[in-house]
Amino acid sequence: MSYLNLSQETNINAVSEDFAAMDPTILAGYKIKFDKEVKIAIADSQNSQNEEIRIIRVRIAEKTENNNLSEVRIELEDNLDVGFFNECTITASEFDQLQSSNRLRVNFKDFTNSIKDLLEKSVKTPESYQLIFKQDDDYGGDLTFIQSLKLRRVVVFSLHFVLSPHDFIRTQVQYRFNKVKLELKLREDEIDTKFKQVKSRSPAQEKILRSSIEGALKKRNINK
């Protein structure tokens, strides 16, 4: 249940969208096409048996030149490990080699949608589609998309990632931290406004509402 009205929710979303324009990836000229957390098995490239399932945020961005797609950029980030920020950038000219080595049947202009489709399938049907990231000593590595059939597992294709430059990672971490701070502040301000509105009509009701919310939050924190 939301204690914010539609206008208040719209204001929060509008400010969040304005702040999103300060995303370092967007400032670099890219447009975000996909942004979702997915489960990825992280393995050491030297010991693939030692896998750790982690929740990784995957973002896909595109850059265009003269209304033509020129680059597809995929980012991997982990909110629990801010130093984990890997990128894979594929230009239109580089795609031919990727297409040939992976025997892809998709064109460059449809490549983003193809990746999005596999990522969505890994979320909705994890028993059939999995993602494995084999990390190298330099913290880069290969992300492999796998389809599990009845009798065997098939590699759909693989993408090589490199660790993003330290300055870019630092800028991204600061941006994400500021974004969370802003969203929390906006929520707190809007909720405080709502309490004041309720209190002006019924101080007793405001006290009950505040007590109920504080109790629910305390219970949730205990259960964590």
Model pTM above 0.85? no
Per the CB < 8 A criterion, the answer to whether 161 and 76 are in contact is yes
Q: What's the confidence (pLDDT) of residue 217?
A: 61
Question: Which among 112, 150, 153, 111 is positioned nearest to 131, based on CA atoms?
Answer: 153
How is the chain split into domains, by residue range? 12-164, 178-222
Q: What's the confidence (pLDDT) of residue 1?
A: 43
Q: What share of the chain is helix, strand, coil (3-state, %, to 5)?
A: 45, 35, 15
Q: What's the confidence (pLDDT) of residue 212?
A: 76
12-164 CATH pick, 3.40.50.150, 2.170.210.20, 1.20.1070.10, 1.10.630.10: 2.170.210.20
Q: What does residue 56 show for φ and ψ, rounded to 5 degrees?
A: -115, 135
Q: How far does the chain reach from its first CA to its final CA, in angstroms?
A: 20
Where do we find the tokens 């294709």? 157
Q: Around Cβ 212, how many Cβ atoms within 10 Å?
A: 10
Separation of alpha carbons 178 and 210, rounded Å: 27
Looking only at the bridges linking them, the beta strands covering 31-44 and 129-135 are: parallel
Per the CB < 8 A criterion, the answer to whether 34 and 58 are in contact is yes
- pLDDT tens string, the chain, 224 residues long: the values are 444 454 555 555 555 566 667 899 999 999 999 999 999 999 987 776 778 999 999 999 999 999 999 999 999 999 889 889 999 999 999 999 999 999 999 999 999 999 999 999 999 999 999 999 999 988 899 999 999 998 899 999 999 999 999 999 999 988 888 888 887 887 877 777 877 887 788 888 777 777 777 666 666 666 65
Q: What's the confidence (pLDDT) of residue 48?
A: 63
Encoded tokens for 189: 């301000």
